[in-house]
Chain A
């Protein structure tokens, strides 16, 4: 059973479109992180959300942490080919303090020009 479910698994869109990817769980998380990974490279941390209901913006990327801290979303406005990559969410459930960070399987985004 995957503790962090990401959807969709794959997304292929045209440049300029908007998109949202989701990270869901039945567990409560103290925080969630979003990473972007390009082929053959390591994941790069984009943002950490900590407070339920929190919204963080990073240029055209908007991250939201659910009020109950069980889910998160990443919205990209006017996607560009440079946004192409694997988007991973990660976190640690509050009842598993001291254990390893758990990663979702990711959403593979392809933006074509």
Chain B
């Protein structure tokens, strides 16, 4: 158990819909990272927040957005969903930037 929690574990929705994924970091970790993992692309960095502020952006689509709240939990919002958005979405947290602890992930299926 990494100490990072993610909900929900599984999510099935239809194209065009909007979903919210939630992440609670390890106690004391100020940084939260979001990743997308698909079979063909591997683990792709989406976005990082540090203590409520956006710190770095990766290959995140404009249809996707995230935020980190004062209690340090984070949410990833995915809208206008497409079939290709089906993937595993991971959240990770860290104290030291190069040592990240991953949550169990949310498996998103878009039908």
**Closest residue of chain B to A103, judged by CB?**
B43
Number of cross-chain contacts by CB at 8 Å? 54
Q: What interface size band does chain B fall in?
A: 20 to 34
**Given A40-B107, A42-B90, A43-B90: A100 and B45 interface contact (C-beta under 8 Å):** yes
A27–B102 Cα gap in the complex (Å)?
25
Question: Is B100 located at the chain interface by the 8 A CB criterion?
Answer: yes
Return the 10 tightest CB-CB contacts between A and B, nearest first: A42-B102, A105-B42, A100-B45, A103-B43, A43-B102, A100-B56, A42-B105, A42-B104, A31-B98, A100-B58
Which residues of B does A touch, CB under 8 Å? Answer: 2, 4, 33, 42-43, 45, 48, 56, 58, 88, 90, 92, 97-105, 107
Which residues of A does B touch, CB under 8 Å? Answer: 30-31, 33, 35, 40-45, 48, 88, 91-92, 98-106
